[in-house]
Structure 1
Amino acid sequence: MAAPNAEWVLMYRGGLTRSRIAALTRAPPSTVGYHLAMARAADPGLQTAHENAASTRARVSVQGVARMRQLVAMVQETGRYPSRTSPATDERSLAAWLERRRHDATAGTLAPAYRDGLAVLPDWQRPPRPVADEVRWQDRFAALVRYRAAGHDWPRHKTVPSGEEHDLGLWLHSQRQKAHRGDLHPAKAQALDKLLPGWRAGRQRGRKPRNGSGNSD
């Protein structure tokens, strides 16, 4: 194992003691102590950071560090932050974790380990507009998938003045326009084709509604 262990140093910086780190990682306390001693020698400010974090009782866990790494990997790979309305349970959990860290940062109680680890993400406390737009797109997409899975026909926006159907119909109309102009990102078009086949054409005249009733949706 390369010394010092980066994960142990991160946990120590966040206020955890040597014994706590050893217990969480199931490593011998003496081994953890050796790694931390090397880290303190290389970084004179580490001990102060540890004491400051411990004094504010900032909590950092192995699971929290894993969540942070998962978040960083996702944002760097996809260019977007997790959505709380995603159909994927893991992504919703990650979004909830990020929301708590944003709250901690606003309250001034964010653990230094999280602060330093999340610093690699641009403006993570308030996603930049392109990222926020992507999150909104994913939210609408997931909502439409659920709407169709519930047995509804394609949503309308002109004949329905408000409500979920209107909002989804307006969003779907926008995607069709972008696709027609060639402005829709290929990955988004592929996602729509895969999970919402027929989205380009929409409602068909004379077709029996999916829910089998006499109503149009």
Structure 2
Amino acid sequence: MAGWEVSRHPEWDMMYVAGLTAREIADRCHQNVATIHAHFQSRERYEPGTRATHEAALAARGVDRPTISWRKLLAEVLEFRETHGRLPSHDGDNTERRLHRWVLNQGRAYRNGEMSTPKIILLDGLVGWSIDVRQQERDQIWRAKLTSLIEFTATYERTPRYKNHSSDPERVLGVWLHIQHQKRAEGTMLPWRLEMMDAAFLHWQSRM
């Protein structure tokens, strides 16, 4: 059969050699499991050793494998996103909150390096699952504070003071700026935030 040097379904092959089962691949790609089995039977004939590679990866998966209950929850989340056009939120009904907690746990495991390759592959179709929403919100607040600081400095031609301030908004900005100085001195400021501060305020690090 000509053309088998280039697979007809390279995505299936990638998942198979990563240790995903035919059922998991069928769920991920919305295919009949018998079709998946038939494909890999043909692949084995034209590329001997494919099954052995799969079985070795399957055996090495360990305890963090996509169980039936895990795949069921993923299917629920995918259905929710397709229906609502977004990921489940913490302020929805009981079912939505349950799915929201599940997504948060997957993202946390991924960012901590505790998630298996099969799960990462299966989650690939869920846009935004690995984003830390709370950190994203904190970053948005930080950017808004920086914008306010830039506007204050442009208006008053000085940085805000948290001592001897002329207004409460100035005090709030002054405290925020003081905290940025402290984080910079301690080496705990995120690199991208330090770059933005440096770009917005030349020599700001010398101002205490």
TM range (shorter): 0.3 to 0.5
TM-score with structure 1 setting the length: 0.37
Which structure ranks higher in relative contact order (CA pairs < 8 Å, sequence separation ≥ 6)?
1
Structure with higher Rg: it is 2
